[in-house]
Amino acid sequence: MGASADRRNGFRRWHVPPTDVRIVTSDGQSIPAHSTVLASSSSVLERMLDRSRILHILGVPHDSVVAFVRLLYSSRSTTSAREAREEMERHGMALLALSHAYRVRWLKRRCEAGLAAWLSAARAIDVLKLARLCDAPRLHQRCLRLVAEDFAAVQESEGWRFVQKHDPSLELEVLQFLQETAQRRKRWKRERADQAMYRQLSEAMDCLQHICTEGCTDVGPHNSRRPDNPCMSFNTCEGLQLHIRHFATCGRKLQEAGKTCTHCKRMWQLFRLHSSLCDQPASCRIPLCKQFKEKMQEEKVDKTWRLLAKKVAIARVMSSLANREVPQAVHKSWMRCRGRR
């Protein structure tokens, strides 16, 4: 009667075969398991099962081996994410070693991600040593970055003191990474400062074009209508107007290089830089543009100046791209993509 009721309701009883493998851990305890599950999860375990039905998994605690076997079963059954996360928190390092030794790739990737997510300065060196042994490059790099970010806290850890006494190669690797990180940060800082300078020169070129073509509060063409209010188009407009007025009246702008006025020298450089970037010198209204262009064609321009002009031109293009208005269709498409996330 019960069997017929089960068939009517569409249910079927599944028969679980008995365990045929015994896993022995370091403390002598045994864990029953199924050979089909172990063999399908790991090629190493499959070869071991061909020789014996008693497997010895040593070197890690018994609870970690139990968690390892449970996760092998979980790849074929439904296990909650919370349970898997708890297993990683308690046995993450041991599971990484086991998954590497028995070549369970999906579990190794999960262990790497879990250890990287819960990494701390106190455990960074221990996890770093394990990542080297288990060939986990992403986790290895994550540990090194954490060491570089908080090396003061890492120095207080027991793992770092052990490395200093017993593992000089790892200590040298960490110190070299710290040195490379410091040099890289200095280089990035210098490059950011250079980019800021190029952007300022690009803005100065635009401001110079604005003053000499349209005119501004104090300086401009004789036939231009100058505004009464301060210029809001450029941050450097007022300062550049002061430099132009000084350049027009200074008596030391034509002297030798060592005696030339500092402000006038800057204006000479701005005029020359504009001439290097200008593609219409015949109709350009910037002072001395045509003269500088002809002089540069006659004389050979040094590589440093050409590189500076190129960098400023790139900065102008990037600035114009950043400030351009995004089309409405592109904006709507971008908002739809953000909404899906």
Considering the domain architecture, whether residues 217 and 97 belong to the same structural domain is answered as: no
> What is the rounded average pLDDT for all residues in the chain?
83
CB 99 within 8 A of CB 132: no
**pLDDT value at position 330?**
67
Considering the domain architecture, whether residues 198 and 313 belong to the same structural domain is answered as: yes
Considering the domain architecture, whether residues 107 and 202 belong to the same structural domain is answered as: no
Q: How confident is the model at residue 108 (pLDDT cuts 50, 70, 90)?
A: very high
117, 137, 162 — which closes off a domain?
Answer: 117
Least confident of 1-15, 151-165, 280-294: 1-15
Higher pLDDT, 224 or 12: 224
Q: Is residue 142 part of a domain?
A: no
84, 117, 150 — which closes off a domain?
Answer: 117
Considering the domain architecture, whether residues 113 and 214 belong to the same structural domain is answered as: no
Pairwise CA distance, residues 58 & 285, whole Å: 84
102, 117, 132 — which closes off a domain?
Answer: 117
Number of domains in the chain: 2
Span 145-174, average pLDDT: 94
Least confident of 17-21, 24-28, 208-212: 208-212
Check whether 120 has a pLDDT greater than 80.
yes
- Percent of the chain at pLDDT > 70 equals 84
Q: Is residue 243 part of a domain?
A: yes
CB 206 within 8 A of CB 235: no
**pLDDT value at position 153?**
94
CATH of the domain at 301: 1.20.1020.10
Pairwise CA distance, residues 244 & 204, whole Å: 12
Residue 296: enclosing H or E segment and its boundaries? helix 289-298
Higher pLDDT, 278 or 63: 63
Considering the domain architecture, whether residues 197 and 109 belong to the same structural domain is answered as: no
**pLDDT value at position 69?**
92
Q: How confident is the model at residue 10 (pLDDT cuts 50, 70, 90)?
A: very low
Span 163-178, average pLDDT: 94
**pLDDT value at position 155?**
94
- Percent of the chain at pLDDT > 90 equals 43
**pLDDT value at position 315?**
85
**For every residue of 247-266, which 3-state class applies, written as one string?**
HHHCCCCCCCCCCCCHHHHH
Check whether 7 has a pLDDT greater than 50.
no
Span 201-210, average pLDDT: 86
Least confident of 73-82, 137-146, 169-178: 73-82
Residue closest to 74 by CA, chosen among 89, 88, 62, 60: 88
Check whether 320 has a pLDDT greater than 80.
no
**pLDDT value at position 317?**
82
**pLDDT value at position 209?**
85
Check whether 6 has a pLDDT greater than 70.
no
**pLDDT value at position 288?**
83
Considering the domain architecture, whether residues 203 and 311 belong to the same structural domain is answered as: yes
Span 209-221, average pLDDT: 76
Q: How confident is the model at residue 1 (pLDDT cuts 50, 70, 90)?
A: very low
Check whether 131 has a pLDDT greater than 70.
yes
Beta-carbon contacts of residue 159 (< 8 Å; ≥ 6 apart): 122, 123, 124, 125, 126, 129
Q: How confident is the model at residue 275 (pLDDT cuts 50, 70, 90)?
A: confident
Q: Is residue 200 part of a domain?
A: yes
Check whether 118 has a pLDDT greater than 80.
yes
Considering the domain architecture, whether residues 109 and 196 belong to the same structural domain is answered as: no
CB atoms within 10 A of CB 44: 14
CATH of the domain at 77: 3.30.710.10
Most confident of 22-26, 89-93, 230-234: 22-26
Q: Is residue 147 part of a domain?
A: no
Identify the domain containing residue 312 by its residue range.
192-222+230-328
Residue 202 Cα distances to 195, 234, 270, angstroms: 10, 11, 10
| DSSP-based helix, strand, coil % in the chain, nearest 5 | 65, 5, 30
Q: Is residue 56 part of a domain?
A: yes
Q: Is residue 4 part of a domain?
A: no
Span 223-238, average pLDDT: 69
Does residue 242 sit in helix, strand or coil? helix
**pLDDT value at position 47?**
94
Q: Is residue 148 part of a domain?
A: no
Q: Is residue 245 part of a domain?
A: yes
Check whether 189 has a pLDDT greater than 80.
yes
